[in-house]
Amino acid sequence: MSTMQERLFEIAVNSVISNAINIGNRLNLFKTLATFKTPILPKVLAEASGCKERYIREWCNCLACGKILEVTEDEKFYIAPENIAALTSDDYPIISHGMMITLLEPFEDLLTCFKKDGPHGLDYSKFGKFQDFMGNLSKSLHEKHLFTDFIDSLGDGIREKLETGIKVLDVGCGNGFHSSLLAERYPKSKFTGLDIGEDAITSAKSRKRTDGRDFENLDFVQCNASFMPENWTETFDLVLIFDACHDQMRPDLCIQEIHRCLKPTGLFAMIEMLGTSNIYEDREMLGLPATLIYGASLFHCLPVGSNSPDALCYGAMWGKRRAVELIKSCGFGKVDTVDTPYFPLNVLYLSRKN
C-alpha cells in the first residue's frame, strides 16, 4: 500500500472508532463502565446500562480493537485508569464525536447542492438534531469560562453594568444556553434571545432556572436577525453573538440591525470561529484542528448560509479580515479583535458605534 492508501485506511478506521465513541457517550456506557473497579463481562455492563448484551459486546469489541477500552484474555473489559477522566467527562474532546452524525443527516441533499443546477443550500430544518448537539457543544466549550474570562474580555465595566442592570440581546441564541446562564447569574439585567429556528426557540423557552423557577428576566423571540422588531431601535446596552453570524444567509443585514438596535454607547460582542480569511495561513496556524471547523462549515454552516440567491455564503472560516471589513461596513466606527484562548478555536470581536 502507498503511504496515502495507508493514511486513507487509517482515517476510515478512526471514523469507525469516533462513531463508536459517540455511542458510548450518548448511552453513558463509559460512565457506567467506569463505576466498576475490576474488568467486567459485557453482560454486566449491559445489565448496569439497561442495554442488550449482544450490542454491548460488539461495542466493547470494537472499542477494544480501537484501543479506547482495555480487554483481558478472558474477554472482560475496563477503562485504563489514566483514561477514565477523558472518557467520562462532558468536555468537547468527547462531545465532538457527535458532530458528524448530526451534520450528515441531509448528506444526499448536500451532494445535490454541489451541482451547478442543484439547490443553493439547505434549510436548518434538515438538521433535526442540530440544536441539541450545538447546545451540548457550546456548554462543553464555553460554560467554564463564560462568567470569568469571557466577561473580563468584554472590559468596559461590563461586569459591573450586568450586576447593576442592563439590556442584553443574544442573536442566534440557539437553545438559549448562553442567555439562560447569564440571566440566572445577573438577575437585575434583562436578556432577550433571538433565533430564526422554531425548534431553537421552543427549546429555549422551556428553560428553567437551576432552582426550577421560571425566569423573570429572560425572553426568547423567534425572528430573522436580518429584520429585528422596529421598536428595538437603540434599545440594547450589549448585543452578543455566539458562533451565529457566519451561518446566516445575510450576516450584513444582521449586523446593520444590531447597529440600529444598540444604544449609542452600547457594545457589540461577537464570538466567532478563529480564522485568518486565508486557508494557507489557517492551516499553518491551526494545523489539523482547522479541518474540524472547515468540515463543520462544509457539512452545515456553508449550506445553511447559502440557501437563497442573495446569500453571502461565508462559511465558518470567513476569518478576521472579512469579519472586520463587514462590521465596519455596517456602520461600526471601532472594531477590536481579542484573542480568547479560553474558548478553543474562537476569537472575539468587540465593536462600538464611535
Q: Which residues bind ligand SAM (CB under 6 A)?
A: 124, 134-135, 138, 172-174, 177, 194-197, 200, 224-226, 242-244, 247-248
Between 311 and 324, CB nearer to ligand SAM: 311
Residue nearest to ligand SAM (CB): 174
Closest distance between ligand SAM and the C-beta of residue 83, in Å?
28
Q: State in angstroms the smallest separation of the CB of 135 from ligand SAM.
A: 6
Output 98 or 172, the one with its CB closest to ligand SAM.
172
Q: Which amino acid is at 30?
A: F
**Nearest in space to 331 (alpha carbons), one of 266, 237, 287:** 266
Q: Which is nearer to ligand SAM, 24 or 303 (CB)?
A: 303
Q: Which is nearer to ligand SAM, 24 or 135 (CB)?
A: 135
Q: Quick one: 21 or 249, whose CB is closer to ligand SAM?
A: 249
**104 is written with which cell numbers?**
450528515
Beta-carbon contacts of residue 183 (< 8 Å; ≥ 6 apart) = 189, 191, 215, 217, 218
Shortest Å, Cβ 221 to ligand SAM: 10
We find the least distance from the C-beta atom of residue 194 to ligand SAM, in angstroms, to be 6
Strands 77-78 and 190-195: unpaired
Shortest distance, CB of residue 177 to ligand SAM, whole angstroms?
5
Q: How far is the CB of 282 from ligand SAM (least distance, A)?
A: 19
For ligand SAM, give the closer residue by CB, 77 or 343.
343
Judged by beta carbon, residue 87 or residue 146, the one nearer ligand SAM is: 146
What is the CA 64 to chain-centroid distance, rounded? 30
Taking the complex as a whole, how short is the minimal distance between the CB of residue 88 and ligand SAM, in angstroms? 23
